Amino acid sequence: MKLNKIHQDLKELYEGKERLNTILGVEFSHQEEAKIYTKILQIGQWYVAPFSFETYNSYAIKLSPNKKLLESPVCLRSRGDHSLFSNNLANFLPMRQLRMLDTSDFVQYILDDWQLLEELSLPLRQYTNSLDSLEFLKEYLHNDDKLIYLENPSEYYTKVYLDFWNHYYNTQQQKEYVELMNSMIKDKSYLPDFEINDYGVWNTRAYNAIGQRAYTLIDIETEKKENQFWQSFIQPHGFDAVEFDFGFIPYTTSSSFQLDTIISKFIPELGYFSKMKNHPLYPVGQILSKNKSSYTGDAHIEAAKAIDELNDPIMAWDALVSAGYWSGVNFGEPNMNAWKAAIDLSEKTWLDRD
């Protein structure tokens, strides 16, 4: 089955190649790929493009109307939600190797099969014009100072994880994200002063973490935390949810569960979010607060239309993603109006760029 162009291209490049799962950690073909992808579409997740599979999970490119596929981040899909895995497809394989380094035995395993790793990764490295993408991994595994960390992953894996991300996503946004998370992880009472920052591919996870931290600080009045709650709420639902006790390493948890705390603040009788009452997404929060489990996503579609008229196509897209998410969570089927609106928005946004 042709899921999308990138999946089809990689499937053809890797046709007949063996030991992909044991060396690369993923397959580009799956005996039930049609069933897996059909299920993804049936629950309304048109906003990702799956391209590789593990036994139970899959990896997908996170779609956005203002980014080309090869420039878009890759997410791990597990139990219906998504968590950020790599900043783009070019860095997917070294990040997949990083995932195996949380067990000390895999260091020698990777080194013993290094030649085969280079051989099997070559088609993807050529496809993404990233022939040198394994060099950092190779140097890391041959560095005696780094081996100290790799021999004790239970204690140092976060250090290794950040070393890889700081290299493969060497941007100002990455530095600011690490600084933010470091501050909140080291000090459980720390809540940053509110400001709108660009954390790049980490935007959703950063604002979800801030929102969760704000909720745990019961000594601070809700009115003084509304901006933090709001920024978490307006992120695309279904991506990079975090729980109260968060760390650097993402794991797939439920946006529906995480948002409970913030949605509860939208109960009309409480009178919160007075500064946001004129925002198109404000009524969505009130609808969700009344009965989250029966929400269809329609209010997000109406909000997206209004947001698009305000010339913010990315926020409009995120609202449509959220519409698709809730329809899938609550009813196991797509919201076709959200899907159609996303296509129209994407076509218009790309046209504007051209």
User: Is residue 325 one of the residues assigned to a domain?
Assistant: yes
Query: What is the rounded radius of gyration, in angstroms, for the C-alpha atoms of the chain?
Result: 21
Are 289 and 266 within 8 A, CB to CB?
yes
The stretch 52-76 carries a mean pLDDT of 92
User: Is residue 237 one of the residues assigned to a domain?
Assistant: yes
User: Is residue 318 one of the residues assigned to a domain?
Assistant: yes
Q: What is the mean pLDDT of the chain?
A: 94
Give the pLDDT score at 350: 64
> Where in the sequence is the domain holding 300, given as residue range(s)?
197-353
The stretch 225-251 carries a mean pLDDT of 96
pLDDT tens sequence across 328-337: 999 999 999 9
- Cα atoms found within 13 Å of the Cα of residue 310, Cβ hemisphere only: 15
Give the pLDDT score at 353: 47
pLDDT tens sequence across 23-35: 999 999 888 888 8
- What band does 354 get if pLDDT is binned at 50, 70 and 90? very low
The stretch 328-351 carries a mean pLDDT of 90
The token pair that represents 26 in the structure block = 């993923």
User: Is residue 334 one of the residues assigned to a domain?
Assistant: yes
User: Is residue 104 one of the residues assigned to a domain?
Assistant: no
Please report, for residues 89, 186, 189, 209, the alpha-carbon distance to residue 183 in angstroms, rounded to integers and kept in the order given: 30, 5, 10, 12
Give the pLDDT score at 134: 98
User: Is residue 244 one of the residues assigned to a domain?
Assistant: yes
pLDDT tens sequence across 84-127: 999 999 999 999 999 999 999 999 999 999 999 999 999 999 99
pLDDT tens sequence across 202-216: 999 999 999 999 999
pTM: 0.95
Q: Is the pLDDT of residue 2 over 80?
A: no
Task: Report the percentage of the chain scoring pLDDT > 90.
Answer: 87
Give the pLDDT score at 352: 52
The stretch 164-175 carries a mean pLDDT of 98
User: Is residue 224 one of the residues assigned to a domain?
Assistant: yes
- What band does 192 get if pLDDT is binned at 50, 70 and 90? very high
How far apart CA 278 and CA 282 sit, in angstroms, is 7
Nearest to 295 by CA among 315, 266, 317, 272: 266
Q: Is the pLDDT of residue 39 over 70?
A: yes
Give the pLDDT score at 1: 58
The stretch 136-156 carries a mean pLDDT of 95
The token pair that represents 118 in the structure block = 């280079």
User: Is residue 315 one of the residues assigned to a domain?
Assistant: yes
User: Based on the structure, what is the number of domains in the chain?
Assistant: 1
Nearest to 284 by CA among 251, 238, 237: 237
Are 71 and 88 within 8 A, CB to CB?
yes
